[in-house]
Structure 1
Amino acid sequence: MRWSDIVEFVPILLQGAGMSIFITVSCLILSTALGLVWALLKMSRHAPLRRAATTLINVVRGLPMLVLLFYIYFVLPSIHIQLSALQASIVGLAFGYSTYVAEIIRSGIESVDQGQYEAAQSIGMGRIKTMTRVILPQAVKVALPPYSNTLVSMLKDSSLASTITVSEMTRQGTLIAAATFQNLTVYTLVAIGYLAMSLPMMSVTRALERRFGKHTVK
């Protein structure tokens, strides 16, 4: 491992790290929105909606993330839905992780005491207002530790985007290694890069667990 190699490789890998962060943040936003929808559908009063949401969650969680990415990138064009590699990676990862986020949100909502619903309704709050003003703020405290842990997983799984040619950090490392044969140097730098991004988030997760207590998804 030579210092000159490190100096040459790091700027390229940093560009890839920026793409990894972009994919992770985009996935986080989209998966949270979708996860909230799936969670509310799974808790719906209407049995068909509950069954549909439960089936969707179980099916998607039973598939590897890599298969979801391949399906969206390679199969959807056959039915005239064309996405770029970056778009497919974000949509695929977000769709997959939305099912995990849904269970985290559902667990948080169900952890709120039933008396909170009854108290809110007794002062004239409707179902939507009760959910947004009373239930969700309390559910967030329960959901934060596992939610932040999921964010770490999203960051690590952003490396899967390299399989469909997205130039994130793993892809950039692979290209450098193929061109220079400096496998030890390149992949050590890639590993250090992921650790530099994930370890602070893991520290935040531990802090949240200490603050709010450890909760498991049902």
Structure 2
Amino acid sequence: MTRENSKNDFPYWLVAAGLIAGYFFYQIAANELYSQVMATVSKGVGITIFVTLVGFLSASIMGLLLAVASLSRFLVIRQCARFYIEIIRGLPILVLLLYIAFVGTPILIEAVNLVIAPLGFDTLRTRDFPLIWRAITALAIGYSAFIAEVFRAGIQAVDKGQIEAAEALGMGPWLRFRLIVFPQALRTILPPLGNDFIAMIKDSSLVSVLGVADLTQLGKIYASGSFRFLETYNVVALLYLVMTISLSLMLRRFERKTAPLER
């Protein structure tokens, strides 16, 4: 679709979504029950945003390192990176979350204790590693494999002629990556990265299975105590949609601004 056609494609869906959202926001303002639900579950929005931001930043750093490793000239490094990426991508996020929380964390704590105990330090307990950080770790590990593929595709999309020209100018590998490869790959990488960020906002709801007081968990607690499932999950869904659709619209605006003009 050309940029001209996309401008003529009026977002009727957004108008419909806005009207529905307006109705529910009116209910929240005018209806005491909806107001009470909003006051309760909105406390989890901060945790949801915190988990998403920290998890996505960690996943992006890990993904970039994995992408570079998967393109390494050394066979062992490439194969280790591919092994990690393919194994992690094959696991459901929920299974990975439970595994990290209840299997990986106790193993890690035991390993740390084996090191610090002979040194005279107090040993750690599994409960010393908060559930919220176990959840963030699991999300970071799970998404790092997908983000690694995004980075790899973006890096490989850079014209090899420019890399060869940089080599001819005497630039080393790090300098070529920092000045030539990464800035050009970034334009290709950002849209799918934005999609992954939106997906992580939704998948952050999985941390509720660990009892983390995010938006979903507070909604579940309120609904089970008041038996107001309709009103509670209407508000929970509304808050998630406000976050995800807002980010999606910003992402589309960015794509339109950076996309080349088509004849």
TM range (shorter): over 0.9
Paired residue for 1:74? 102
Identify unmatched segments of 5+ residues in structure 1.
none
Deviation string, structure 1 residues 13-52 (Cα, Å, up to 9, x no partner): 1110111001010011100100011001000000111111
The structure whose Rg is larger is 2
Distance 2:188 2:232 in 1: 40
Task: State whether structure 2 residue 213 is matched by structure 1 residue 185.
Answer: no
Q: CA–CA distance in 2 between the matches of 1:173 and 1:77?
A: 27
Query: Please, what is the CA RMSD of the aligned residues?
Result: 1.5
How far apart are the structure 2 equivalents of 1:78 and 1:169? 27
- Corresponding residue for 1:147? 193
- The residue aligned with 2:47 is 19
Distance 1:56 1:80, change over 3 A: closer
Contact 1:144 1:208 in 2 (8 A): no
Cα distance in 1 between the residues matched to 2:105 and 2:164: 49
Equivalent in the alignment of 2:174: 128
Identity of aligned residues (%): 36
Of 151, 171, 174, the residue aligned with 2:217 is: 171
Deviation at 1:12, TM superposition (A): 2.0
CA distance in 1, matches of 2:57, 2:106: 28
- Say which SS state the counterpart of residue 112 (structure 1) adopts: coil
Letter of the aligned partner of 2:186 in structure 1?
V
Deviation at 1:213, TM superposition (A): 4.4
User: How far apart, in 1, do the equivalents of 2:56 and 2:106 lie?
Assistant: 28
Unpaired runs of 5+ in structure 2?
A: 1-26, 110-125
Question: Which of these residues, 152, 155, 159, is aligned with residue 109 of structure 1?
Answer: 155
Is the CA contact 2:37–2:222 (under 8 Å) kept in the aligned structure 1? yes
Aligned: 1:43 with 2:71: yes
- Aligned residue-pair number: 214
The CA distance in 1 between the partners of 2:160 and 2:244, in whole Å, is 37
Provide Cα deviations, 1:161-208, integer angstroms capped at 9, x if missing partner: 000110000000000001100000000000000001100111122223
Answer yes or no: is the 8 Å Cα contact 2:105–2:134 preserved in 1.
Answer: no
| Structure 1 Cα separation of the partners of residues 193 and 137 of structure 2 | 19
Change (3 A) 1:77 1:111: closer
Q: Which residue of 2 aligns with 1:162?
A: 208
Give the superposition deviation at 1:8: 1.3
